[in-house]
Amino acid sequence: MSDEIRINRPPQQSAPAMMQQPASMPMQGEMMQPKTNSKMPWIILAVIVVVLVVLGVLFRDKLFNKGASNGAVLGVSTASSGYQAVFLTNGQVYFSKIASPDSDYVTLKDIYYLQVGPQQGSGTTPEAQQSISLVKLGNELHGPVDEMHISRTQILFYEDLKADGSVVKAIDAYKANPTGAPTPTK
């Protein structure tokens, strides 16, 4: 029976033999440490990312303040005019009321745009020589209807215009006098 025990045990080494063992080999009697799983930190990171994505999807309206203007978020009272400035990928900007912002084609109604007029005077700076005017869509040679459908992919961004902004004031002035003739004063 003692032979069986000896066979299953590694042979015992003397003290000088233990000294000659390479440093990388564990000495007899030392416990071998199990290797740690190197995939564990990646699994934890993946779980954290998935949880953050799910929370982002669930609370995206609150995260991005959908439906709230920046003035309301910042505590500043801004009166929106109902008009938006729509910036397109070709550099054109339209001032209008957006009818369907969530569809593939965004519908604009009551549309205005800026037109740069010919140079005036003999000033030294080009900025001082050009006149900029607000033009109502529909007065062009081809006579378009005052409604436009623009592919969502062509819109860079749009922003709400304040009621006291210069563009909205110019729109209000145009609506008060669409012919451009001076109004009589009493």
Residue 58 lies in a domain: no
Residue 31 lies in a domain: no
Domain span holding position 163: 80-120+128-176
A 10 A CB-CB count for 170 gives 15
Residue 28 lies in a domain: no
Residue 167 lies in a domain: yes
Instruction: Using a pLDDT cut of 90, give the percent of the chain over it.
Output: 9
Residue 40 lies in a domain: no
A 10 A CB-CB count for 28 gives 12
Q: Give the whole-angstrom CA distance, residue 83 versus residue 135.
A: 15
Give the CATH number, domain containing residue 89: 2.30.30.100
Q: How does DSSP classify residue 36?
A: P
Residue 145 lies in a domain: yes
How far is residue 97 CA from its own chain's centroid?
Answer: 22
Rounded to two decimals, the pTM is 0.50
Residue 71 lies in a domain: no
Higher pLDDT, 76 or 124: 124
Per-residue pLDDT tens digits for 97-135: 988 777 888 899 989 888 887 766 655 565 556 777 888
The pLDDT value given to residue 128: 57
How far is residue 134 CA from its own chain's centroid?
Answer: 30
Residue 75 lies in a domain: no
Domain count, the chain: 1
Mean pLDDT of all residues belonging to the chain: 73
Of the listed ranges 10-24, 41-55, 151-165, the least confidently predicted one is 10-24
